[in-house]
Structure 1
Amino acid sequence: MPTAQFDAMVIGSGASGSFAARELTAQGLKVVLLEAGPEIGPKDFDAQRKIRQSDINLWQRAKATLTGQGVQARAAYFDMRMRHLFVNDREHPYTTPPDAPFVWIRGRQAGGRTHTFGRALLRWTDDDFRMRSRAGTGEDWPVAYDEIVPYYEEVERSLGIYGRVDDVPTQPDSVYSHEALLTDAEQQFKADLEGRWPDRRVITWRYIGPEPTRILHPLREAMASGNLTIRYNTIAHKVLTDETTGRAIGAEVLDRLTGTCSTIAASAVVLCASPIESIRLMLNSASARHPNGLGNSSGLLGRYFMDQLPCIATGTYPKAKGAAPADTAPPDPFYGPSGGIFVPRFVGEGGKAASDFNFQGSIGRYPTGRSGDARLSFFGFGIMQPDADNRITIDPRTKDAWGIPVPHIRCKMGEADKATLTRQLDTLTEMVEGTGGELEFVGSPLGLVEKGRGAYPEADPISRFLFRRMFTKTMVMGAAIHEAGGARMGETPEASVLNRWNQSWDVPNLLVTDASAFPTSGVAGTTLTIMALTLRACRHLAAELRS
């Protein structure tokens, strides 16, 4: 074994990598953080750049497609000012089965996808951690909500969450540093919905405000510790292991700009590259000691890959007029205002979840059309059942711009998933129309249903026609951008890839702390749970390394 240059190596600088670097450096360890993309900062967020766009944003997406970002341009929030925060799909190809399209939205730069996610941070509950799949293939998590609460609280205090106490058992409150507010239209919708269906609650977003430095607080702490070395433009090609002990000893890396190959040695490795990338790296790290991929003695590496079941709806809320922001966070000219409402899983007997989906939206926050009625929009997220046939494998026939074999992604809805998504769509329609709202369209991977005036009624006819044609290519699995699974945590090495501390059963000094560790998909965003599990896992690793 070569002499370790560092106590720990963290691969990826996004949501999990930032907290991994903070925790390990705070424990006095010398850490190297590998980021495959460039360093970025305030100069890369030019709020003055004006780009003509519409609700559909069609021409920006078309231009991005022609210049190599055809997949990334399908993200719901994509615009040309942000295109440098998404990868070029020609340089980063992947493959899918013909009958199971998947949109893989990703970014390679300092901070990863923390620059493009909605900034919403929600806790999970034991409705997630202790829920076995009704299909009989799922596993409970090896951890419970009470074990994660202290780490949730620590992350929330570190980031400064906007929210308010709502006291809804299916969506536990966070530790709030700032108050979040509802618009007048959202308050009216809340009164209408809760008055008609007492089990359905409306709460504010729980989210983080803008970060002027464009570096999350935990990573800034790690950088200030004196214990962190950051290697930008450094692509981890293979995690290296000692053939005698089987333990991780570092990584073989490629320089993104020159293609030069080198090695970096470390006493432990923490994968934080996002689910598909971390699994791809483990599969590409096969060796004589680990012939089927790193940490794959169970044969489960890559299996049980999931996203959440997505749907979208827009329309108007005639009970309110105009638009008025209610964001209490400081303004961010690059991103615009944040905030909105959630309808968490419905509250059943004993406070248990009585539905398999939740909804995130806003009412009265954005400019109205000619009628002056408040605009409404909702995204829905449903539980996807774990399925061993949904998996990440390596496609050896296709390589990226650096010669690395790419992932093959299969993420296909089963019959139970289609039934959940149908209930999700019916419930969203029922809630909006039952409170006096008027829908224009509701869409999901099951298709597009136009109602009333139809989708984007004030757009030009060509844009509306092309929107209808492109919808089935855009609203497919992956559109939720909450992918998870593939390196699941569990109680035994036969039924999982990682133990309860996010450690590989086969390689104890290899941790995987992004959402690939998740045994179930959940319905809330994955980011807060990723951060909390990373904090917990790295604190445990630091104690082991010290001993």
Structure 2
Amino acid sequence: MTDVTYDALVIGSGAAGSFAVKELTAQGLKVLLLEAGPNVGPKDFDPARKKAPASSINIWERARATLKGQPIQARAAFFTERFSHFFVSDRKNPYTTPKNEPFLWIRGRQSGGRLHSFGRVLLRWTDEDFKIRSKTGKGVDWPISYEEIRPYYDEVETYLGLYGNTDDVPTLPDGVYARPASLSPAEETFKRAVEGRWPDRRVVSWRYIAPDAERVPKPLREALTSGNLTVQYDAVVRRITTDETTGRASGAEFIDRSTGALSSVRAAIVVLAASPIESVRLLLNSASVRHPEGLGNSSGVLGRYFMDQLPCLAFGSFSQAKGWAADQSAPTDPFYNPSGGIFIPRFGEADPARGDFDYQGSVGRVPVSEKDDARLSFFGFGRMLPYADNRITLDRRRKDAWNITIPHIRCVMQAEEHALLKKQEQVLTSMIEAVGGDLEFIGSPTGLKEMGKGAFPEASAFGRFMFRTWFKKTMCMGAAIHETGGARMGETPEASVLNPYNQLWDAPNLIVIDASAFPGSGIAGTTLTVMSLTLRACRNLVEQYRRGSFSAR
């Protein structure tokens, strides 16, 4: 492979990488995709793996995964053995955190990345996320606005075929929908109760994509059929190479995951899409004479301002509705559970409880007797501000299974986050109770609070004991799985790693397109914004490449 120079090299095949190869191949570039894990297809989605958990806590599934080498991955809030092969081995992929400041790094290494295990919810951000400093005086503004990214939101949603409804919510812009999404009867009741009591709070359906029956993400599948894409699976990239004269990216060195063989590849442009922590780790591990502190780190900002969203989890029942109902909006899938649920966006400006948080959940979708109260669950997401000392560095004392230096992750809440998370939990609790809900527990990185019957009252005493014991390790920073920052974009090279088009200031033929580019954490899922920024960044890079800005050396 060392004798071939590609137009573009893409590292990672998840939400960002799959859209990158789609765009680059469609524009006629010869592209090499390096994926650290194996190729996956229909064989990896065996319906026989779809089994009901032994209990709602699924303690034994988590225990088995832990024994098999996934003690971190098994702590994901909604972990299930069905997806265990879509999560990494923690034994082979270690990382470190400060003592008493845990961070859950939930990750997948295979074609499609975490697209096989995420909730498939795609939500737009607003200028309350992009221009937070202008609106609140906190954090930092993005160098782009909602209006600049809106056409790319439109394009991605149209391409993927989004399920959703026109809701006309100022704090959650409507998207382009191919099909409507439904609420359960219990959710309709919940919606009427909340919106009737608080005019500036809205309860809307999820905006989501259905599972892909072909099991290969659509953009990756399209790129594969273009004739312009070469894929090297099981290719663990250890460093990005650079030209000693220009300082620009020239390709990459990678290790065969199975054999340990080292190879290298050359490309005129490089697209880094490995997920926030991994992309930063790779840039830091790509130090050279021209880039002594890491590739793209002349400002000293690389790795800094790392964030996740503030997580909280609540379970209970809703006495105003009985039983449950299946959602028929999307086709039934033999491997995945039905999609759908409710989303409560950031409240309107007139609501006195308004804050930078939102809630995703469901009511009346869990099977129970028609005489029983409907079950409810919510996961809250809150904004985290960027702090310079929340950062990804290298722990040079340890290596992974391929002898690559591992990352050290620090993501610690400050007083601002503690106050916001307290409000986030209090508002959710009071809102649910006011409309006839009965919470059994609510918890976050600040701890677990049980009420009423307590957490999972139908579970065994041992299961409940283990849930309480593990909760602090499960609901800590990282649990939202919406990590951002570390290679943020900005207006100047002195205060950022990337320019407003995701190009490395220090090597402009390299773009970083995953959420490490984000200057702020936002409060909704990151995936739609990642996909949209990828199209924007790739088109800008190709335009420069065609003008001759980056010639292969």
Q: Shorter-normalised TM-score: what interval? A: over 0.9
Whether 1:112 and 2:100 are equivalent positions in the alignment is: no
Aligned counterparts of 2:115 and 2:353: Cα–Cα separation in 1: 29
Quote the residue 2:405 is aligned against.
405
Partner-residue secondary structure (3-state), 1:510: strand
How far apart are 1:135 and its partner, in Å? Answer: 9.4
Partner-residue secondary structure (3-state), 1:165: coil
Quote the residue 1:230 is aligned against.
231
- What one-letter code is carried by the residue in structure 1 that aligns with 2:158? R
TM-score when normalising by structure 1:
0.98
Aligned counterparts of 1:68 and 1:3: Cα–Cα separation in 2: 38
1:36–1:490 distance in 2 versus 1, CA, 3 Å: same
Give yes or no for contact 2:501–2:537 (8 Å, CA) kept in 1. yes
How far apart are 1:327 and its partner, in Å? Answer: 3.8
Partner-residue secondary structure (3-state), 1:48: helix
Aligned counterparts of 2:440 and 2:170: Cα–Cα separation in 1: 32
Quote the residue 1:27 is aligned against.
27
1:315–1:370 distance in 2 versus 1, CA, 3 Å: farther
- The ranges of structure 1 where at least 4 consecutive aligned residues each deviate by more than 6 angstroms after the TM superposition are 133-137
How far apart are 1:507 and its partner, in Å? Answer: 0.4
Quote the residue 1:455 is aligned against.
455
Aligned counterparts of 2:133 and 2:488: Cα–Cα separation in 1: 14
- What one-letter code is carried by the residue in structure 2 that aligns with 1:219? L
Aligned counterparts of 1:486 and 1:82: Cα–Cα separation in 2: 28
How far apart are 1:217 and its partner, in Å? Answer: 1.2
Aligned counterparts of 1:49 and 1:502: Cα–Cα separation in 2: 39
Quote the residue 2:64 is aligned against.
63
Quote the residue 1:202 is aligned against.
203
How far apart are 1:99 and its partner, in Å? Answer: 2.5
How far apart are 1:213 and its partner, in Å? Answer: 1.2
How far apart are 1:448 and its partner, in Å? Answer: 0.4
RMSD, aligned α-carbons:
1.6
Aligned counterparts of 2:108 and 2:492: Cα–Cα separation in 1: 34
Quote the residue 1:441 is aligned against.
441
- What one-letter code is carried by the residue in structure 2 that aligns with 1:515? A
Identity of aligned residues (%): 64
Whether 1:330 and 2:309 are equivalent positions in the alignment is: no
Q: What are the superposed Cα offsets for residues 250-273 of structure 1, whole Å, 9 maximum, x if unpaired?
A: 001111111101110000101000
How far apart are 1:136 and its partner, in Å? Answer: 6.4
Q: What are the superposed Cα offsets for residues 144-170 of structure 1, whole Å, 9 maximum, x if unpaired?
A: 000101100110011110000000010
Number of residue equivalences: 545
1:133–1:261 distance in 2 versus 1, CA, 3 Å: farther
- Unmatched runs of 5 consecutive residues or more in structure 2: 548-553
Partner-residue secondary structure (3-state), 2:48: coil
Aligned counterparts of 1:180 and 1:84: Cα–Cα separation in 2: 30
- Unmatched runs of 5 consecutive residues or more in structure 1: none
- What one-letter code is carried by the residue in structure 2 that aligns with 1:546? R
5 Å-filtered alignment, 1:355-504, equals 355-368=355-368, 372-504=372-504
1:154–1:195 distance in 2 versus 1, CA, 3 Å: same
Quote the residue 2:311 is aligned against.
310
5 Å-filtered alignment, 1:167-182, equals 167-182=168-183
Q: What are the superposed Cα offsets for residues 463-521 of structure 1, whole Å, 9 maximum, x if unpaired?
A: 00111111011100000000000000000000100000000000000100000000000
Aligned counterparts of 2:316 and 2:346: Cα–Cα separation in 1: 22
How far apart are 1:224 and its partner, in Å? Answer: 1.3
Quote the residue 1:185 is aligned against.
186
Whether 1:345 and 2:323 are equivalent positions in the alignment is: no
TM-score when normalising by structure 2:
0.96
- What one-letter code is carried by the residue in structure 2 that aligns with 1:534? T
5 Å-filtered alignment, 1:13-52, equals 13-49=13-49, 51=51, 52=53
How far apart are 1:370 and its partner, in Å? Answer: 9.4
Give yes or no for contact 2:313–2:443 (8 Å, CA) kept in 1. yes
Partner-residue secondary structure (3-state), 2:319: strand
Aligned counterparts of 1:31 and 1:408: Cα–Cα separation in 2: 32
Give yes or no for contact 2:353–2:427 (8 Å, CA) kept in 1. no
Quote the residue 2:302 is aligned against.
301
Partner-residue secondary structure (3-state), 2:265: strand
- What one-letter code is carried by the residue in structure 1 that aligns with 2:531? M
- What one-letter code is carried by the residue in structure 1 that aligns with 2:47? A
Aligned counterparts of 2:399 and 2:306: Cα–Cα separation in 1: 21
- What one-letter code is carried by the residue in structure 2 that aligns with 1:481? I
- What one-letter code is carried by the residue in structure 2 that aligns with 1:299? G
How far apart are 1:218 and its partner, in Å? Answer: 1.1
